[in-house]
Amino acid sequence: MNRRHLSIPICRTAVVSGVLLLSVALFSALWKSQPVYQGRALSFWLNELKSQPGQREYLRAKAALVHLSDAAAPRVARLLNYREPKLLTVIRSKAPPAAARILTPKLDARMIRARGFDVLREMGTNASPAVPALVRLLESPDSITRGEAIRGLGYIGPNARMAVASLIALLERDSKENKMEAAPTLGAIGPAARPAVPFLVSSMKKNELPTIVAVRALVRIGYSPKEAVPLLIAQLRADTNSFARSATASCLGLIGADAAPAVPALIDALRDPESRTRAHIALALGQIGPDASGAVPVLTQLLNDEWWYVRQNSAAALGKIGRDGNPALPLLAILEQHDPNEDVRNAAAEAIGLIRSGSQESSGR
């Protein structure tokens, strides 16, 4: 046989073998470089997340990815933009069900995206490495994907500050649903989201955001939204639902002393038949502080309320109002000694101390 012809297949075999060995070596090196949980590499757990329909397998994969947060977070974030190849979509829609089950993955794209979001939520602040990927997803043409990315950034909180500019842009142009998601996410980011304040205030005034949603976000950012007080007063007076009044009162309480103009409306609302609403309104008056002194008579009456949590919050509010709560001292003393609920007794004792110390400070001036 011609040696020249013999050498050609030998060379080809050697080249193919070399390529295979190199591929195996590279794959092995890549596998070894991955972080490991319970003897399994990160890629294994990502694949489990995407392909295993069982709840038990999913929970195992989720626990592993949460444990490997630093390395896993960016790759999990990419799942939020996962789209099924068109061929698989066609197979699902055209093939007989039995064939489709064999030929396509066990999970569809919607379920994979939902799982990715769930894992990031579980990671919380440990998902910080995913922030750049989530910020890129804010540009997705798909509204649902943008919404999931917004919520994911909210779970990460202050470490998502690089997303502030993109979230502000969404406040200006996105759907109402995504604006509703963007506001609390900006609030979760906190003081670093201060550039968003004028946009949140503007959206609130233009009724593009519910006042309550905007106020909660603004307060968490560290801004006292005085502009919201007239809107909340009107809302408090117009609300016919007890729970809506409770939410409005809670927002006024978050604003604190700047919500003093709302005190008369809050006093009127204390007549609410729902005990939880009365408790929330009393709490809000306490958060407003000394400027809520006009509420002392009605708060004193509520110290006799049948519900312990109304008595507790009324006592606490009187303490925070301070020296103007003096008329309530006799009844507070009775509660301190004889109320059947320990929380009420403690609140009354603390209120007595605050009122007396406020009176002493005033007389010492």
| Mean pLDDT on 335-358 | 95
- The Cβ-side half-sphere exposure at 283, using a 13 Å CA radius, reads 18
> pLDDT-derived band of residue 24, with 50, 70 and 90 as boundaries?
very low
Percent of the chain with pLDDT over 70: 82
| Mean pLDDT on 295-317 | 97
3-state class (DSSP) for residue 170:
helix
pLDDT value at residue 240 = 84
pLDDT value at residue 117 = 87
| Mean pLDDT on 311-333 | 97
Quick check: 176 pLDDT over 70? yes
What superfamily would CATH give domain 227-365? Leucine-rich Repeat Variant (1.25.10.10)
* pLDDT per residue as tens digits for the range 232-268: 999 999 988 999 999 999 999 999 999 999 999 999 9
**52 or 304, higher pLDDT:** 304
What single DSSP character describes residue 176? H
Cα separation, 188 vs 157, in Å, equals 5
> pLDDT-derived band of residue 112, with 50, 70 and 90 as boundaries?
confident
**If you average pLDDT over each of 44-58, 83-97, 178-192, which comes out highest?**
178-192
Cα separation, 142 vs 150, in Å, equals 13
pLDDT value at residue 138 = 93
Cα separation, 29 vs 46, in Å, equals 18
> pLDDT-derived band of residue 16, with 50, 70 and 90 as boundaries?
very low
**Residue 153 · residue 167 · CB < 8 Å:** yes
Cα separation, 342 vs 309, in Å, equals 11
| Mean pLDDT on 143-153 | 91
Q: How deeply is 291 buried, as exposed, middle or buried, from its count of CB atoms within 10 A (0-12, 13-18, 19+)?
A: middle
Look up residue 195 and give its two tokens. 């550039």
pLDDT value at residue 54 = 79
**349 or 11, higher pLDDT:** 349
Can you tell me which residue has the tokens 């950012």?
A: 221
Cα 173 to chain centroid, rounded: 22
> pLDDT-derived band of residue 306, with 50, 70 and 90 as boundaries?
very high
> pLDDT-derived band of residue 340, with 50, 70 and 90 as boundaries?
very high
> pLDDT-derived band of residue 27, with 50, 70 and 90 as boundaries?
very low
How is the chain split into domains, by residue range?
36-126, 138-223, 227-365
Percent of the chain with pLDDT over 90: 60
